[in-house]
Amino acid sequence: MLSSGQLELKEVGSARSPHVEERNGSLDPDLSDDVKTGFTVNDQRDMQRMGKKQELRRNFRMASTIGFTTCVMGTWEILLTSNTPGLTAGGRPALFWSLVWAYCGQLFIVLSMAEMSSMAPTAGGQYHWVSEFAPRAYQKFLSYASGWLSTISWQSIVALDAYLAGTIVQGLISLNDDSYSPARWQGTLLVFAAAIGMSLFNIFGAKHLPLAEGIFVTCHFFAFIPVIVTLLVLAPKAKAEDVFTGFTDYGSGWPSVSWTVMVGQVSCMFVVLGSDSVAHMSEEIENASVIVPKSMIWAFLLNIPFAFGLLLTYLFCMPDVQSALDSPTGFPFIHVFRQAVDNTAGATILVVIVLVLIVMITISSLASASRQTFAFARDNGLPFSNWLGEVNPRLHIPVNSIIVTCLFSMAMSLINIGSTVAFNAMLSLSTTALMATYLISIGCIIARRISCDPPLPPSRWTLGRFGMPVNILAMVYASWSFFWSFWPNAYDVNAENFNWASVLFVGLMGISTIVYWTYARKHYDGPVVKVEGRKFQ
């Protein structure tokens, strides 16, 4: 991890094996034998303090948890398939320097979330943390708002990943058939098929998800090699000055290059998101208060060399950016593959590798999104909470939440029929909503650090004396990202290129406000009412 000279990262508590701790304590006798598997005394203590019942299997360990988080982030695959907005607004150097900035800023958010996840290792994630750390007078509403924002963001991430899977298939058809004219409704149907297929895997393959994550992350790392080597050996190369300093506007039309780059940076902001996915799996992870924060940090750091290795190779192997953006396949990376190998069959193999990895990422993201939705429904934060918060007694997973996640992805893909910027809308919406949850949760822990009333909950993984500066820097970056995520990619806005994320964001939060005043304010108290027996008014 980071050296002690850079940051004080302290692990508090016993260093013994969780299985030793388990033998020295006693597990809840009311738990079924299936649920008791991997359930340590520390896990039981955390669940009791948070007022939650153990309903899910704890079948994730350290390796599978890191694998899960790494796969959900899927940094190099997502970067390769979702760079069109950033490439249009600023060209190659805009993508590179935006990724540098995004990683620097996101690191402070990840460190802040890691500490909060150790204090409260629950599937609720941000909205639960807000409920615990917010001032008493505001905890109920802020927690409720965070829950809706987190639900929106993760549902949008799954929708975006499914969209990528469906439309890459369309790109493959275009690559192999010059006469094929892609229709947006066809892409939407392919997204439907992708969402349904991956939801079925999450339902019927849930028990084997940890094993699948091990396979996924192995593919994530080892598939990187043939892609990079092929491009480095075969593709024509661009000049270094074009990659690092040749800022160019390829059609966004903003008045200045600086402005253009600011608008285009959202692509890279989205790429580095996803570390909180593991927090929503906390109730399925053994010894979660230690494993979850460690997994966040390690997955984030492990992805950095792969992301920059892929990006630099990709940018140097793209001599003509405009041709890549104008590719009939709809994806610049498919054009780069085709130009590199100068062979349709070879390019098809490379694209299929990327497609398989995107499918794996979507499966993992869907698992995380469904757990977050389940947790918020369990606390009566969503309509039809009793149904959404139900855990299947045989499969020990929230099947109904998985179904709703699938339906949301299908509904979002309908935007693609009427607009060419459906991808931009989903990308911006997920980034905006997730940054809003970071702002609220980290802002609340800063307020608690200042007031010290009551003290922060105990943590087995802590930032120590660096907690406050790390939290402040995280707030600065999250505010910056939230602001730019609403901007349209083009200066001359019309109905087709408008950033519909702003409309979706306002609309969905408007619905949440209506639900709050008509229902939730009487039924939703926030998780804090169950924490240590305290009822806040």
Q: What is the pLDDT of residues 242-290, one digit of tens each?
A: 999 989 998 888 888 889 999 989 889 999 988 888 888 888 888 888 8
Bond before 135 cis per omega within 30 degrees: no
Q: Is 1 exposed, middle or buried (0-12, 13-18, 19+ CB in 10 A)?
A: exposed
Q: How confident is the model at residue 28 (pLDDT cuts 50, 70, 90)?
A: low
In whole angstroms, what is the distance from residue 261 CA to residue 90 CA? 5
pLDDT value of position 193: 92
For residue 417, CA distances in Å to 183, 185, 414, 456, 493 come to 8, 5, 6, 49, 19
Q: Report the amino acid identity of residue 239.
A: K
Residues 6+ apart with CB under 8 A from 11: 290, 460, 461, 462
Q: Both tokens of residue 24?
A: 């020295």
pLDDT value of position 308: 95
In whole angstroms, what is the distance from residue 495 CA to residue 104 CA? 35
Answer for the pair 335, 344: CB distance below 8 angstroms, yes or no.
no
Closest CA to 78 of 49, 107, 102: 102
pLDDT value of position 39: 60
Q: Residue 242's Cα: distance from chain center in Å?
A: 31
Q: Is residue 6 part of a domain?
A: no
Closest CA to 46 of 492, 460, 410: 460
Q: Is residue 2 part of a domain?
A: no
Q: Domain count for the chain, please give it.
A: 1
Q: Is the pLDDT of residue 494 over 90?
A: no
pLDDT digits (tens, 9 = 90+) for 115-162: 998 888 887 888 888 988 888 888 888 899 999 999 989 998 999 899
Q: Is residue 13 part of a domain?
A: no
Q: Is residue 352 part of a domain?
A: yes
Q: SS3 for 11?
A: strand
Q: Is residue 201 part of a domain?
A: yes
Q: Is the pLDDT of residue 380 over 90?
A: no
In whole angstroms, what is the distance from residue 101 CA to residue 303 CA? 15
In whole angstroms, what is the distance from residue 337 CA to residue 379 CA? 48
Phi/psi of residue 536, each to 5°?
A: -95, 140
In whole angstroms, what is the distance from residue 208 CA to residue 71 CA? 16
Answer for the pair 310, 228: CB distance below 8 angstroms, yes or no.
yes
Per the structure, the complete domain to which residue 77 belongs is given by 59-519
pLDDT digits (tens, 9 = 90+) for 388-399: 888 888 888 889
Q: Report the amino acid identity of residue 27.
A: L
Q: Are strands 10-11 and 89-90 parallel, antiparallel or unpaired?
A: unpaired
Q: Give the mean pLDDT of 172-177.
A: 91
Q: Is residue 272 part of a domain?
A: yes
For residue 511, CA distances in Å to 258, 405, 406, 429 come to 36, 17, 20, 15
Q: Is residue 524 part of a domain?
A: no
Tokens 């028990």: give the residue. 207
Indicate which CATH number applies to the domain containing 496.
1.20.1740.10
380 Rama class: left (phi>0) / alpha (psi -120 to 50) / beta: left
CA atoms within 13 A on the CB side of 314: 29
Q: Is residue 43 part of a domain?
A: no
Answer for the pair 142, 444: CB distance below 8 angstroms, yes or no.
yes
Alpha helices by DSSP H, 120-177: 126-133, 139-176
pLDDT digits (tens, 9 = 90+) for 476-489: 999 999 999 888 88
Please, what is the Cα angle at 297 between 302 and 273, to 5 degrees?
Answer: 80
Mean pLDDT rounded to a whole number for the chain: 84
Partners of residue 462 on adjacent β-strands: 10
Which pTM does this prediction carry? 0.86
Q: Give the mean pLDDT of 513-535.
A: 73
Q: How confident is the model at residue 29 (pLDDT cuts 50, 70, 90)?
A: low
Task: Quote the strand ranges of 12-92, DSSP E.
Answer: 89-90
Q: Give the mean pLDDT of 312-317.
A: 95
